[in-house]
Amino acid sequence: MMDDLLEQFLLEGRDLVAQAHAALVALGREGEDRDALDSLFRAAHTLKGSVALFDMAPAEQLLHAAEARLEAARKRHILLDEAALDALVAVIDQTDRWIDAMETAGRLDQDAAERAAGLARSLEGEEHARAAAPGRSAEESDWIADLRARPEFRQIDAQTARTAFRYMPDADCFFRGEDPLATAGGVPDLLALAVLPAGGEWPALETCEPFRCMAVIEGLSGADEAAVRAAFRLVPDQVLVEAIGPALAPDTAAQPEIGATLRVEAARLDQLADQSGELAVAIRSLKPIAERLRSLDPALAAELSTAEEQISRVADEVRRSVAQVRLVSLEPVLRRLPRLAREAAAGLGKAVRFTLEGEHVRADKQMADQLFEPLLHLVRNAVDHGIEAAEERGASGKPGEGQIRLSVQQDGAYVMILLADDGRGIDPARMREAAVAKGLIGGEAAGSLSDAAALQLVFLPGFSTANSATSLSGRGVGMDAVKTAVDRLAGTITIESEAGIGTRVRLRLPATAITTPLLLVRAGDQQLGIRLDQIAETARIEAAAIHPVGHARACVWRDQTVPVLDLGSVLGLAPALDSIARLIVTDTGPCRTALRVAHFGERFDAVVREGTGLIAAMPAVAGTTILADGSVLLVLDLAELVA
């Protein structure tokens, strides 16, 4: 089980890495951006204080070097040129990798010290400030000496006092709801405390600003340095901590609970979401009961209907509340991608600039947990087979540095993700040839595909246009796995490209995932569910308007020839024979397709569970749900069905 302090460090450390990268991007655009420089300095300084709580000495030394370089820049002693910014990006990336190492292995790699030394050297130059290893400065020595000389501290047994601290709260801390005295009082095994004026002496009463903090707090503790630093983990940039006594065993005193945040296990939230969805299903069963009761006792039936509406309204509010609780920022998922893109590009000898937008968009935890792998694969494909080598880009009149942009935005109940690159693009003709050569599609069918439909062939299992293998996957290798992951999240994925211009991959994912909107249909004598996000539209046309085309059937819909599949026939059930054909039009396959069904039913929200046992082995079945009468409803996966 992960230590609480380590877990807190992982969360805060990755937030600080994201803050640092955002500041570096801003500085890359405008080197004189003072706010970005200050933000980068604060992130590096706070990271240095955070890593000091663990066995991460190389990280502390490297961040100290970065901090010194940034402090020199802030004082206008030096400017951050392109080389300096590249070095700082490398420092933050390495810190990010070390945070990952602490999570997975609980320690840094054996070459951490060597890496830190090399990166620290990259921060230096002829006119650059030299970053010394962290140590006790003259200022720190002075405050320790002054502290020891104070009457309230002289009486403390030197063998008892192990750690001294000097807490310098930010002047605006009260506006953030902070309580410096309470923070200092939370230091374990506190032996003595002194509140001193920040400016050396207290100002006259008439000149005091009551809403600004004017104090410095010093103290002695019998706990070790790590335990004292832990008490100040939310304000590490505002405190000096130093061991002054004999090094003893780590203090195991329990830390006070800070803040009003309640941690809940993810499994409990998942269970609560499932139960709220099942509650909605149970309430739906009241409606048919009220209908049957209407002929026996209309008054009682009306009362039951009223109660059912009230319960439904409250249940919907509960479901919305649970859905809000499950919303998390996508930033932890997305913030690793720029570094991984740079590493992939470096491995291939390419220069790539990765831009991230909208990372603070919030989505359901289930979606956030499963989004990283498909996005990573898309990013690696863009670097490997989207972005050309510098020589090829130069010959095409493009800058040597490739551009990859990942943009995330909220669109109502959906999260829209766009990954765009300015690489070589995809040739639809080559896509058709590759699909035919691999036996994934017939020549006649390939020839009938539009250019837009041909691009979607990239998602077929086993498809690839790569001529040779690289350290990364080829454009198309494993893209069916990306689509499978997106389908599992009840989302859609499409690809657009212009040869020589670039490629755009668009993902549309539901922001919440407790229930899934379904349309009830009938094929033969079987009721089935179809996800609404897989339905482009529904239509009713004359059955005579569906004509044979070769061995298949098609109709003209919105000035486009659309193949028509009879859902009953596809599933081995009775075909639909009505004179009016009811069609479900979907874009989930290689091309727009219409499915003919016998009947359209109601639209409702349901908890769809992945199939298990025999159902899991059934093709084109996305899962199951329970209807109001207690029967099991199969939910189809149209993408697999029409493929």
Q: Which tokens go with 27?
A: 């500085």
Answering whether pTM is above 0.75, one says no
Facing residues of 507 across strands? 417, 493
CA neighbours closer than 13 Å in the CB half-sphere of residue 210: 2
Predicted pLDDT of residue 138: 42
**Residue given tokens 């801390």 in the structure block:** 173
Contact of 585 with 592, CB cutoff 8 Å: yes
Q: How far apart are CA 61 and CA 279, in angstroms?
A: 55
Nearest-CA neighbor of 438 among 486, 385, 469, 476? 476
Predicted pLDDT of residue 236: 77
**pLDDT per position as a tens digit, 60-113:** 889 988 888 888 787 665 668 888 888 898 899 899 889 988 888 888 988 888
To the nearest whole number, what is the mean pLDDT of the chain? 82
Domain 332-364+379-510 CATH assignment equals 3.40.50.10860: no
Predicted pLDDT of residue 152: 66
Phi, psi of 537 (to 5 degrees): -170, 165
Contact of 180 with 217, CB cutoff 8 Å: yes
CATH number of 4-122: 1.20.120.160
Predicted pLDDT of residue 23: 86
Amino acid letter, 286 = L
Nearest-CA neighbor of 417 among 354, 495, 488, 322? 495
**pLDDT per position as a tens digit, 229-281:** 888 877 777 888 888 764 333 333 334 444 445 666 767 877 887 788 778 77
Amino acid letter, 104 = T
CATH superfamily of 516-642: CheA-289, Domain 4 (2.40.50.180)
Question: Residues 389, 394, 395, CA angle at the centre, nearest 5°?
Answer: 100
CATH fit for domain 138-243, picks 3.30.450, 3.30.70, 1.10.287, 1.10.3470:
3.30.70
Predicted pLDDT of residue 422: 94
The three state secondary structure string of 329-344 is ECHHHHCCHHHHHHHH
The conformation of residue 544, written as its DSSP 8-state character, comes to G
Q: Angle between the 82-104 and 4-29 helix axes, to the nearest 10 degrees?
A: 160
Under-50 pLDDT residues of the chain: 1, 126-140, 246-260, 469, 471, 473-477
**Residue given tokens 């690809």 in the structure block:** 495
Q: Which tokens go with 535?
A: 């339905």
Predicted pLDDT of residue 1: 44
